[in-house]
Amino acid sequence: MLDEIVQDGFDGVYLDWVEAWEMDEVQDRAENEGKDPGQEMLNFIREIRTYGKQYNPDFMVIQQNSSELINEVDANALKNAVDAIAQEGVWWDGVGGNDDWTDPEGYDYASCCSDYYLPRLRKYKNAGFPVFVCDYAVQKADEVYQKAAAQGFIAYATRRSLSKLTTTQPTFEKLNTPVITIDKTQLNSNGAHAYFYIDTSTYSNGVHTIYWTASDDVGNTDGIGSRYFTIQNSVTNSVARGQ
């Protein structure tokens, strides 16, 4: 499978079910075999990352869930195995809707485990790992983005079925939307057609998002991209650093 991933041009893997090492049956079997299940999981992930980097030096591994792993193994050891962590349902979760995008049980249910996840995710962040959160929220999406930004996490709000790309966007601290007209005589030329300066001093430090829409002469409009970026204002200057 890893060979196919590399050959198809992917830059890494997003590993689900890392928490398998925490399951009772895995713990029991590991004890019977005299093994440390957390260390075995770490070894397994490290082997994946090492193999990928043989073919692509930028190959990355993102750990999904199992934030307890950082308490089980040394953070420095983790740095040789994973590049980031993503955690589901930090503040909002679903109790159903795994196969149905429209099922109202697939979002906006308060997470049972915020107090468990947050100190562990902060530990990852303090160790230098990017922390992504995937919360299942619609009406609560803005809250997710605000809370994540306050923690220095990068958020994505969606629904339990994960069958579509979400269209939720954080609505707090919105920039005044600039409208830029492109000179059609410059189409297909090299270089940027337009630019827009952001005065970062008017915004709080932390992770923000920016997104673009484009409209043609007959009124068709569509999104063309988005990026998260980190604002880190200092006393003497203001900087927007891409992320």
Does residue 195 share a domain with residue 144? no
pLDDT score for 239: 47
Which has more confidence, 45 or 193? 45
Quote the CA–CA distance of 166 and 203 in Å, as a whole number: 25
pLDDT band for position 142 (cuts 50, 70, 90): confident
**In terms of domains, do 92 and 13 share one?**
yes
Span 9-28, mean pLDDT? 95
Q: What is the pLDDT of residue 221?
A: 66
Q: Which of 158, 176, 205 is the last residue of a domain?
A: 158
Q: Could you tell me the pLDDT band of residue 183, with boundaries at 50, 70 and 90?
A: low
The more confident residue out of 177 and 144 is 144
Query: Which range of residues forms the domain containing residue 213?
Result: 184-242
Q: Give the range among 138-142, 171-175, 186-190, 223-227 with minimum mean pLDDT.
A: 171-175
Rounded distance, CA 230 to CA 102, Å? 33
Higher pLDDT, 162 or 224: 162
Do 73 and 188 fall into the same domain?
Answer: no
Is 175 a member of any domain?
Answer: no
From the list 61, 50, 59, the residue with the least C-alpha distance to 85 is 61
Summarised one tens digit per residue, pLDDT across range 34-55 is: 999 999 999 999 999 999 999 9
Residue 177 included in any domain: no
pLDDT band at 219 (very low <50, low <70, confident <90, very high): low
107/217 same-domain check = no
User: Taking the alpha carbons of 92, 94, 100, 102 in that order, is the dihedral positive or negative?
Assistant: negative
* Structural contact between residues 207 and 243, judged by C-beta atoms closer than 8 angstroms: yes
238 shares a domain with 121: no
* Same structural domain, 224 and 150: no
- Calpha distance 94→110 (Å, rounded): 8
- In this structure, the answer to whether residues 43 and 128 fall within a common structural domain is yes
Number of domains in the chain: 2
Is 10 contained in some domain?
yes
What average pLDDT does the segment 119-124 reach?
96
**Domain annotation covers residue 179:** no
* 164 domain residue, yes or no: no
Residues 189 and 135 in one domain: no
Last-in-domain residue among 142, 158, 174: 158
Q: Which CATH number characterizes residue 89's domain?
A: 3.20.20.70
Cut 0.85: pTM above it: no
Statement to judge: residues 108 and 199 lie in one domain: no
What does the pLDDT read at residue 187? Answer: 60
Whether 127 maps to a domain, the answer reads yes
**Mean pLDDT over each residue of the chain, to the nearest integer:** 85
Residues 208 and 120 in one domain: no
In DSSP notation, 131-164 reads EEEEEE-STTHHHHHHHHHHHT-EEEEE-TT--S
d(CA 28, CA 26): 5
What's the count of helices (H) and strands (E) in the chain, helices before strands? Answer: 7, 10
**Average pLDDT of the residues in 15-39:** 95
